Structure 1
Amino acid sequence: MTRPTIAITMGDPAGIGPEVIMKALAQPQVQAICNALVIGDANRLRKAGQIVGVSLEVDALSDAKQANFASKAVQCVDLKLVPDDLPFGKVSATAGEAAYRYIEKAVQVVQAGLAQGICTAPLSKEALHAAGHKYPGHTELLAHLTGTPEVSMMLVSPKLRVIHVTTHIGLLDAIEKIEPGLVERVIARGHDVLVRAGVANPKIGVCAINPHAGENGLFGRGEEAAKIAPAVQACQRKGWDVRGPLPADTLFFLAGRGDFDMVVAMYHDQGHGPIKVLGLEAGVNITVGLPVIRTSVDHGTAFDIAGKGIADERSLIEALRQAVDLAPKNAA
């Protein structure tokens, strides 16, 4: 199979992104599955390589078209945005601006057909905001840059896939926002990405909002019947294997043992908690619904250990694997 090209954004250059990228790209398993094109800063990657003890050379490219994937060197579209003296582990507007520009360039590269997917190293929301880019995170930023009105966050660990109906809003706001049309669209996006990943007839479990799925109206204010059940029924009419609303605690147990291919969580912590308990070190964040494939590590910038050479690259490796799995199969 032809290896797809995956654009890897360097994330916040003051975080662990440069280190985990260099550690991951040194792995033969990564070199075997994709053509890696880093969007970032070549000197920062070289410095990170020295910190983590990786001997890879870095080729600084002015344009993605110059990439030579036959070379053993890391191919980096060098935006030259990071001062040599930028410290690791500190929030700065300079680093936030760089992180934004890496994402912007990666979208342009994919839209030009020079890569088949995007894999993102972590950025700092605080640094992003300090640079004047008021987005809650990667997901919303990518939606803006691609002109996509609605996307969903999916988290994947070795034992569990979870897609979220709502994410970065307060719990009261989340419950108010949930309605049958939104739930149905989220289920559909998850169903589509699983089918493209090779799961022919995905088994999808849908979480309730209230304990015990509302216990037939005993708990809550009828949210399950009003907000979730109609969406589940609409998906079932399409012939999909969708079940719910189910008590979240029971559903995550069943999904963890393999009874479901994906769980639909209603709000941020309902979905994030189980995923992070089961596999933060190999967790992957996938933005579902974009016109481009996007996966990400499921950890932050880890400023407390940035620049120390001890960051774990396993989540990035898994994110690259997922990007390859989801990339168009006719990639050149």
Structure 2
Amino acid sequence: MKRSVTLALTAGEPAGIGPELCLQLGLEERQPGIVVVACKHLLQARAGLLGLAVELEDWKPGNRAATAPGRLSVMHIDGLTSTDAGKLDPGNSAYVLETLRIAAQGCLDGVFDGMVTAPVHKGVINDAGIAFSGHTEFLQELCGVERVVMMLATDELRVALVTTHLPLKDVSAAITPERLTQVIRILDVDLRKYFGIEQPVILVAGLNPHAGEGGYLGREELDIIEPTLEKLRREGMTLTGPLPADTLFTPHWLDNADAVLAMYHDQGLPVLKFQGFGRAVNITLGLPIVRTSVDHGTALDLAGSGKADAGSLHTAVRVGEQMAQSATRDRNE
């Protein structure tokens, strides 16, 4: 019998589609329990704009989260300066980060079993004078961990990244034995912990075209990647590579693999998003908490139109629930 879990859901950028995705979820019967960490007035305004009949229930720790259709539990957060759909307001930035902080702290304190995040707008937060590079880095700092790993997943494919939001010119210097070792260890451990994979099989992409072609197209594979993989293989990990990125995303390799490790953002994610955009989930590995997110941005042009698709949010909630339950089993064994 599955243990019931409660997930915190942050509504993201107030001007984007996040608030209405949360409301769409509230229209449906659902498990696990969801608590939206957001300004209640924002959700009321968006529900009124779209004509959505969702009853918003004030939630406090110790309460049960609503799961019935037409009801949605909300942990109200103050500090919002505007609720206009499609219109960015830097004044909302501190509020957005506060929702993330409260949800994450609730997970650390055991109030929530995990957190799911709707999209934020990095640009407007930085316009407010707050240095912010993304959810992943924010949660890494808040949780006090040295390294985290971004992994996107569909039902058919998982792609993790060695580097995330770096200019392409800086990627090579960032591929160090230390970083590669940390990332692969986190990936191996969390595939076991959260996905129940006893012996993960991980495909590792090379950095250069044709994985360097024996050094003629770059030496990172020879000097850094392969020696690091060999060291980790001796620890018992099942690692294949470095493989040319233009051929590893084929059935020949993927059919027997549990995850792909790409060296940089646009090496692996275009393939995954082509394969499953709108039903993929963004997962942060290496944290002491469960965190999943949607695979898309704030979609300001769709905000308030009623046309936003909640498919990725459904996936993020479902995977967040599975990870929380798996982590509990792991602790109890």
TM-score, length-scaled by structure 1: 0.92
Local SS of the residue matching 1:88: coil
Deviates more, 1:19-28 or 1:245-254: 19-28
Once the two structures are TM-superposed, the CA of residue 257 in structure 1 deviates from its matched residue by 4.9
> 1:246 corresponds to which residue?
243
Deviates more, 1:108-117 or 1:67-76: 67-76
> 1:208 corresponds to which residue?
206
Whether the 8 Å CA contact 2:147–2:182 is kept in 1: the answer is: no
Once the two structures are TM-superposed, the CA of residue 152 in structure 1 deviates from its matched residue by 1.1
> 2:109 corresponds to which residue?
112
Structure 1 stretches of 4+ moved >6 Å: none
CA–CA separation in structure 2 for the residues paired with 1:109 and 1:98: 16
Once the two structures are TM-superposed, the CA of residue 187 in structure 1 deviates from its matched residue by 1.3
> 1:36 corresponds to which residue?
34
CA–CA separation in structure 2 for the residues paired with 1:314 and 1:56: 19
For 1:199, give the aligned amino acid. Answer: I
Task: Show the 5 A alignment for 1:232-243.
Answer: 232-243=229-240
Task: Show the 5 A alignment for 1:113-192.
Answer: 113-192=110-189
Local SS of the residue matching 1:227: helix
1:195 pairs, out of 192, 216, 227, with 192
Whether the 8 Å CA contact 1:52–1:310 is kept in 2: the answer is: no
CA–CA separation in structure 2 for the residues paired with 1:296 and 1:213: 31
- Cα distance change of structure 1 residues 268 and 21 upon mapping to structure 2, 3 Å threshold: same
1:288 pairs, out of 285, 289, 314, with 285
> 1:11 corresponds to which residue?
12
Structure 1, residues 203-261: CA drift from partner, whole Å, max 9, x if none?
A: 100000111111111212x1101121122112211222211100011112248852311
Q: RMSD over aligned Cα, in angstroms?
A: 1.9
> 1:300 corresponds to which residue?
297
Deviates more, 1:309-318 or 1:172-181: 172-181
Once the two structures are TM-superposed, the CA of residue 288 in structure 1 deviates from its matched residue by 0.8
Task: Show the 5 A alignment for 1:217-232.
Answer: 217-220=215-218, 222-232=219-229
Once the two structures are TM-superposed, the CA of residue 159 in structure 1 deviates from its matched residue by 2.1
CA–CA separation in structure 2 for the residues paired with 1:231 and 1:59: 52
Structure 1 gap segments, 5+ residues each: none
> 2:268 corresponds to which residue?
271
Whether the 8 Å CA contact 2:192–2:198 is kept in 1: the answer is: yes
CA–CA separation in structure 1 for the residues paired with 2:136 and 2:235: 28
CA–CA separation in structure 1 for the residues paired with 2:328 and 2:177: 33
Whether the 8 Å CA contact 2:114–2:320 is kept in 1: the answer is: yes
Matched, 1:260 2:257: yes
Whether the 8 Å CA contact 2:248–2:254 is kept in 1: the answer is: no
Once the two structures are TM-superposed, the CA of residue 53 in structure 1 deviates from its matched residue by 4.7
Once the two structures are TM-superposed, the CA of residue 182 in structure 1 deviates from its matched residue by 1.2
CA–CA separation in structure 2 for the residues paired with 1:293 and 1:103: 13
For 1:205, give the aligned amino acid. Answer: L
Once the two structures are TM-superposed, the CA of residue 321 in structure 1 deviates from its matched residue by 1.1
For 2:154, give the aligned amino acid. Answer: S
Once the two structures are TM-superposed, the CA of residue 13 in structure 1 deviates from its matched residue by 1.0
Whether the 8 Å CA contact 2:292–2:320 is kept in 1: the answer is: yes
Local SS of the residue matching 2:34: strand
Local SS of the residue matching 1:36: strand
Once the two structures are TM-superposed, the CA of residue 138 in structure 1 deviates from its matched residue by 0.5
TM-score, length-scaled by structure 2: 0.92
1:100 pairs, out of 97, 103, 119, with 97
Deviates more, 1:298-307 or 1:105-114: 105-114
Matched, 1:21 2:19: no
Corresponding pairs, count: 325
> 2:73 corresponds to which residue?
75
Once the two structures are TM-superposed, the CA of residue 12 in structure 1 deviates from its matched residue by 0.7
CA–CA separation in structure 1 for the residues paired with 2:190 and 2:298: 27
Deviates more, 1:237-246 or 1:250-259: 250-259
For 2:16, give the aligned amino acid. Answer: G
Structure 2 gap segments, 5+ residues each: none
Percent identity over the alignment?
Answer: 36
- Cα distance change of structure 1 residues 159 and 50 upon mapping to structure 2, 3 Å threshold: farther
Deviates more, 1:113-122 or 1:126-135: 126-135
CA–CA separation in structure 1 for the residues paired with 2:269 and 2:122: 18
- Cα distance change of structure 1 residues 323 and 243 upon mapping to structure 2, 3 Å threshold: same
Local SS of the residue matching 2:320: helix
CA–CA separation in structure 2 for the residues paired with 1:25 and 1:239: 45
> 2:56 corresponds to which residue?
58
Local SS of the residue matching 1:64: coil
Once the two structures are TM-superposed, the CA of residue 86 in structure 1 deviates from its matched residue by 2.6
For 1:245, give the aligned amino acid. Answer: P
For 1:22, give the aligned amino acid. Answer: L
